[in-house]
């Protein structure tokens, strides 16, 4: 540490120490200033100014009180002049102290603020700081410290702070000035119209400021575009997948005129290439497993023969049977105007479809996502599969290489293995299902290995080649090369948001680093009338979260002028449909450790459950995280038969604020798999039984026997 930094730290320490030791808060009182103001007005102003600068510069408490006192002593004009410059200088001092001395402490203490502030600075620069000053979404003293870690120049910070804090300072000083003018502190003296107006203004100022900033921001983003005098429709929804269909459904239900645009198939990925066909395939694969396993139940049957063409024909039939639920006919009957074609956003209020311009008051982007194909050398030269074109297969591949150990890769790897393919599952991560806890990943991996799937974790795909009549994948692990021959490769390493070709770039709609559309807590883009929901927005790419977001997007779009709702991600379940299933809600052990949240784990093994034993599905467990000593559910993970269905009880309990005691006190039918939820709650209660009380109860019973 340099001598200058050391000296500055010493001075700050002495000032703060003196403030605490000598009760510095007494010098922020009205009486202190009033006593010296009568005798030395100019000296009082100077002392007040210095004290305010030091208090703000060292982020000491009492700035709001000091501001009101300034108005009471000096009146509106002089008080505003003093406070405005003193607060800005003090804020700049804190800014410089943070930049020079407190970098590590501020980084650790206010990391969550720092992320949002850095994003705001990159996006809007000084205008973002001005907004924070006018509407204190973050405490001013935190803004001072966090801004010191940004590239913003000190002079810019000063003048933006001076302007941004001026309106709020005027309101506080005015309130103080009105208080100072009260001659008698009685009910009649205080309840004067001017004083009441001052305190009313103090109370409603944040709302006025927020409205003013909203108006300024709207003017700023909409400036290049002419708003139509009338609109063809209330809402245009782009994309007819889960998010788009629910958006159109809700809008039509509340009698809004809505236009739904889809360039491919109604129902999107979930119906046509995702949830529905994959679960139909998994069901066929499960039947093979059940038939092969029948002898354990005392039933002798022939070895099952898989007709893959018929399996795929049934998959397509399932899709066609569900299609009417998402059809143009159904939504047209609801009052939705369904259009087939590509939508291009021409302005915040205009969407072009098939050469026709539709003017709309609101736009909901629900264009979904598609499989991500990494740029691995040679991959473009082979006939690779994804979850999109997988359903075109007519023959079962003899050797299937599955790239990706996430939910999609794991589900399809197990299904194809059971249907008769030789499956190799490859992932560059240390374990499959990396979003789950290690015990969950290890359990599913062992199930896969037992069934004959070769699982290669920590293997990176570095290329694909044709070698004679074979296609091979080049893998690398710990510096060693490995060659794997295959007949088909399924790429399942993630999904990428569909944002290209809609004109988002031309009107300046930002994207996140992962390619999803940037939205705020209300699912708005930079334009308050353009929303995004579902896979294209993230952060969760599940069908049920797409539907969940759609409600918020539509309600905020249609009724946001009256009431806006922040999207709620507090209780989000997800299920991986392997066998056994993996279902999860809330915090995992890894999440809790990463966030520094203390927790206890209560676990119940399904091998002890009567119905699971009877059905020969006793593989798995229920695991619940709770705060130490409390039954509040932080998270739950179930690995087992129909885990996705069992999880709903924990989802409901978390959503309604119910703990494990309530679950234990609920009657569960016998014998059912759902008893596992009650038994894990019972395990928690047994572990937290009041031992001292039970010891006295034992003595009581002993006494009663004599």
CB atoms inside a 10 Å sphere around CB 35: 11
Strand partners, 362: 235
> DSSP labels for 379-427?
GGGS--B-TTTGGG--S--SEEEEE--SHHHHHHHHHHHHHT-EEEEEE
Confidence of residue 162 (pLDDT cuts 50, 70, 90): confident
Structure tokens at 585: 């809600």
Q: CA–CA separation, 375 vs 385, rounded Å?
A: 15
DSSP strands (E only) in 216-288: 233-238, 258-262
Dihedrals φ, ψ of 345, to 5°? Answer: -80, 115
Q: CA–CA separation, 169 vs 136, rounded Å?
A: 12
Q: CA–CA separation, 510 vs 221, rounded Å?
A: 12
Q: Measuring CA to CA, which residue among 559, 556, 577, 558 is closest to residue 568?
A: 556
Q: Is the pLDDT of residue 575 over 60?
A: yes
Residue with the bigger pLDDT between 91 and 2: it is 91
Segment 408-431 mean pLDDT: 97
Per CATH, 379-494 and 580-691 having the same topology is answered no
Q: Is the pLDDT of residue 213 over 90?
A: no
The string of pLDDT tens digits covering residues 329-338 is 999 999 999 9
> DSSP labels for 85-116?
HHHHHHHHHHHHHHHHT-HHHHHHHTHHHHHH
- The H-assigned helical ranges of 505-659 are 543-559, 589-594, 610-614, 643-656
Residue recorded with tokens 């049920």: 544
Q: What is the mean pLDDT of the chain?
A: 87
The string of pLDDT tens digits covering residues 48-85 is 888 888 888 887 766 777 788 788 888 888 888 888 89
Q: CA–CA separation, 74 vs 66, rounded Å?
A: 12
pLDDT of residue 185: 45
Instruction: Work out the percent of the chain whose per-residue pLDDT is above 70.
Output: 85
CA 585 → CA 242, 307, 325, 436, distances in Å? 21, 37, 28, 11
**What single-letter DSSP state applies at residue 33?**
H
* Third-level CATH fold of 580-691: Enolase-like; domain 1 (3.30.390)
Spell out the residues 6+ positions from residue 201 whose beta carbon is closer than 8 angstroms to its own.
171, 174, 175
Confidence of residue 5 (pLDDT cuts 50, 70, 90): very low
CA 502 → CA 234, 303, 350, distances in Å? 19, 52, 12
Indicate the domain borders of the chain.
3-221, 233-371+497-559, 379-494, 580-691
pLDDT of residue 196: 57
Cis peptide before 539 (omega within 30 of 0): yes
CA 610 → CA 595, 620, 621, 648, 670, distances in Å? 37, 14, 14, 21, 9
Confidence of residue 248 (pLDDT cuts 50, 70, 90): very high
The CATH number given to 379-494 is: 3.50.50.60
**Does residue 78 sit in helix, strand or coil?**
helix
Spell out the residues 6+ positions from residue 134 whose beta carbon is closer than 8 angstroms to its own.
164, 165, 167, 168, 209, 212, 213
Structure tokens at 39: 């005798």
The string of pLDDT tens digits covering residues 493-510 is 999 999 999 999 999 999
Beta strands across the sheet bearing 573-576: 573-576, 581-586, 635-640, 621-626, 600-605
Segment 306-312 mean pLDDT: 96
Structure tokens at 489: 């490769």
Spell out the residues 6+ positions from residue 590 whose beta carbon is closer than 8 angstroms to its own.
437, 438
CA 504 → CA 223, 498, 673, distances in Å? 17, 11, 49
The string of pLDDT tens digits covering residues 261-304 is 999 999 999 999 999 999 999 999 999 999 998 999 999 888 89
Q: Is the pLDDT of residue 137 over 80?
A: no
Q: CA–CA separation, 574 vs 200, rounded Å?
A: 47
Pair 295, 268: CB distance under 8 Å: no
Segment 175-199 mean pLDDT: 58
- CATH for the 233-371+497-559 domain, from 3.30.230.30, 3.50.50.60, 3.40.50.150, 3.30.70.260: 3.50.50.60
pLDDT of residue 705: 84
């Amino acid at each position: 540490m340099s001598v200058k930094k050391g000296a500055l730290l010493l001075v700050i320490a002495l000032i703060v120490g003196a403030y605490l030791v000598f009760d510095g808060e007494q010098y922020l009182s009205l009486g202190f200033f009033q006593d010296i103001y009568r005798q030395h007005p100019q000296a009082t102003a100077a002392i007040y100014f210095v004290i305010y600068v030091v208090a703000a510069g060292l982020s000491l408490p009492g700035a709001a009180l000091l501001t009101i006192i300034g108005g009471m002593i000096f009146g509106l004009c002089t008080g505003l002049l003093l406070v405005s410059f003193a607060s800005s200088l003090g804020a700049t001092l804190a800014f410089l102290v943070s930049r020079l001395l407190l970098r590590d402490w501020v980084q650790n203490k206010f990391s969550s603020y720092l992320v949002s502030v850095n994003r705001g600075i990159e996006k809007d620069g000084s205008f973002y700081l001005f907004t924070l000053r006018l509407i204190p979404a973050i405490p001013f003293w935190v803004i001072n410290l966090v801004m010191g870690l940004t590239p913003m120049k000190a002079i810019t910070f000063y003048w933006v702070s001076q302007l941004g804090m001026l309106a709020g300072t005027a309101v506080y000083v005015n309130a103080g000035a009105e208080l100072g003018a009260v001659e008698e502190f009685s009910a009649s003296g205080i309840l004067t119209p001017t004083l009441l107006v001052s305190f009313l203004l103090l109370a409603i100022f944040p709302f006025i400021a927020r409205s003013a900033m909203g108006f300024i921001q709207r003017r700023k983003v909409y400036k290049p575009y002419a708003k139509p005098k009338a609109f063809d429709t209330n809402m245009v929804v782009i994309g007819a997948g889960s998010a788009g269909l629910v958006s159109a459904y809700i809008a039509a239900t509340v009698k809004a005129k809505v236009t739904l645009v889809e360039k491919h198939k109604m129902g999107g990925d979930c119906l046509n290439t995702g949830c529905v066909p994959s679960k139909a395939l998994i069901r066929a694969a499960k039947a093979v497993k059940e038939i092969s396993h029948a002898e354990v139940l005392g039933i002798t049957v022939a070895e099952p023969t898989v007709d893959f063409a018929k399996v795929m024909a049934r998959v397509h039939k399932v899709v066609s049977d569900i299609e009417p639920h998402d059809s143009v006919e159904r939504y047209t009957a609801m009052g939705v105007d369904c259009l087939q074609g590509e939508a291009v956003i021409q302005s915040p209020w205009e969407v072009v479809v098939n050469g026709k311009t539709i003017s709309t008051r609101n736009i909901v982007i629900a264009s979904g996502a598609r499989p991500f194909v990494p740029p691995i050398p040679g991959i473009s030269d082979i006939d690779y599969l994804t979850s999109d074109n997988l359903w075109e297969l007519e023959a079962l591949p003899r050797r299937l290489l599955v790239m990706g150990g996430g939910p999609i890769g794991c589900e399809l790897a197990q299904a194809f293995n059971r249907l008769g393919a030789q499956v190799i599952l490859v992932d560059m991560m240390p374990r499959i299902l990396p979003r789950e806890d290690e015990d969950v990943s290890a359990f599913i991996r062992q199930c896969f290995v037992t069934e004959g799937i070769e699982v290669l974790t920590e293997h990176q795909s570095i290329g694909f080649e044709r070698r004679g009549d074979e296609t091979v994948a080049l893998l690398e692990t710990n510096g060693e090369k490995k060659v794997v021959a295959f007949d088909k490769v399924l790429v399942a390493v993630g999904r990428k948001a569909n944002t290209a070709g809609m004109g988002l770039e031309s009107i300046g709609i930002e994207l996140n680093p992962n390619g999803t559309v940037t939205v705020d807590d209300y699912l708005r883009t930079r334009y308050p009338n353009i929303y995004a929901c579902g896979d294209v927005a993230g952060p969760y790419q599940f069908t049920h979260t797409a539907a969940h977001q759609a409600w918020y997007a539509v309600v905020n779009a249609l009724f946001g002028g009256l009431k806006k709702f922040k999207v709620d991600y507090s209780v989000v379940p997800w299920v991986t449909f392997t066998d056994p299933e993996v279902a999860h809600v809330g915090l995992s052990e890894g999440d809790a450790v990463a966030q520094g949240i203390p927790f206890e784990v209560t676990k119940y093994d399904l091998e002890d459950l009567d119905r699971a034993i009877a059905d020969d599905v006793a593989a798995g467990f229920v695991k619940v995280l709770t705060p130490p000593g409390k039954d509040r559910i932080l998270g739950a993970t179930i690995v087992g038969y129909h885990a996705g269905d069992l999880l709903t009880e924990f989802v409901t309990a978390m959503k309604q604020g119910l703990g494990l005691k309530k679950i234990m006190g609920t009657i569960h039918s016998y014998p059912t798999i759902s008893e596992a939820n009650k038994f894990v709650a019972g395990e928690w209660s047994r572990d937290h039984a009041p031992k001292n009380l039970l010891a006295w109860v034992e003595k009581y019973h002993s006494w009663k026997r004599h």
